[in-house]
Amino acid sequence: MGVSIAKALAHGLDVPIVGVGRLELEAWGAARDSGTAAGRIVAVHRAGRGELAWVAYRKDGVIWSEDEAPRIARATEVPERLQPGDIVTGDIDDALSDAAHRTGATVASAHRHRVVALAELGQRRLAAGRVDEATALVPMYLRAPAIGPQR
């Protein structure tokens, strides 16, 4: 619904639009707050059914790129993908925090609200001319929505 509203506003006001996902916002906030110039930021959030949505970004100075694509995995599988030196952020429970520390990763929370991270990241992309085509912008679902025709 949020993407549809943003697209309608961009179209109605004839302004550019920039799409940013929730996991990237979590990672961006932690990266900004960590002060680390390089390394991996792993963002997670609860996806229900005992699963986590997660992604790993690599930060090298000001360059920011996906190191592992967003995916859904059982909560017990995510720690297996962590590397020493990773910064893990997002919806972290005690089990994930303990597992992260055992791997040599650091647990961090973003001190800025996601809306602040969205404004910062969106502004940077706009300033760099990295805008999306409003008609082509769609939400990224890691799992098909449960709503729909019943079988």
CATH number at residue 79: 3.30.420.40
Indicate the pTM of the whole model: 0.82
Residue pointed to by tokens 């949020």: 2
* Tally of structural domains, the chain: 1
The closest of 18, 49, 14, 3 to 120, measured between CA atoms, is 18
Q: Is residue 8 part of a domain?
A: no
**Considering the domain boundaries, does residue 50 fall inside one?**
yes
Integer Cα distance of 24 and 45 in angstroms: 11
pLDDT (tens digit per residue) in 27-72: 887 877 666 666 889 999 999 888 999 999 987 766 778 899 999 9
pLDDT digits (tens, 9 = 90+) for 1-35: 788 898 999 989 999 999 988 898 888 878 776 66
What is the distance between the alpha carbons of residues 134 and 11, in angstroms, rounded to a whole number?
A: 7
Q: Specify if 95 maps to a domain.
A: yes
Instruction: Show the tokens assigned to 91.
Output: 């919806």
Distance, in Å, from the CA atom of 25 to the CA atom of 114, rounded to the nearest integer, reads 6
Domain residues for the domain of 89 are: 21-112
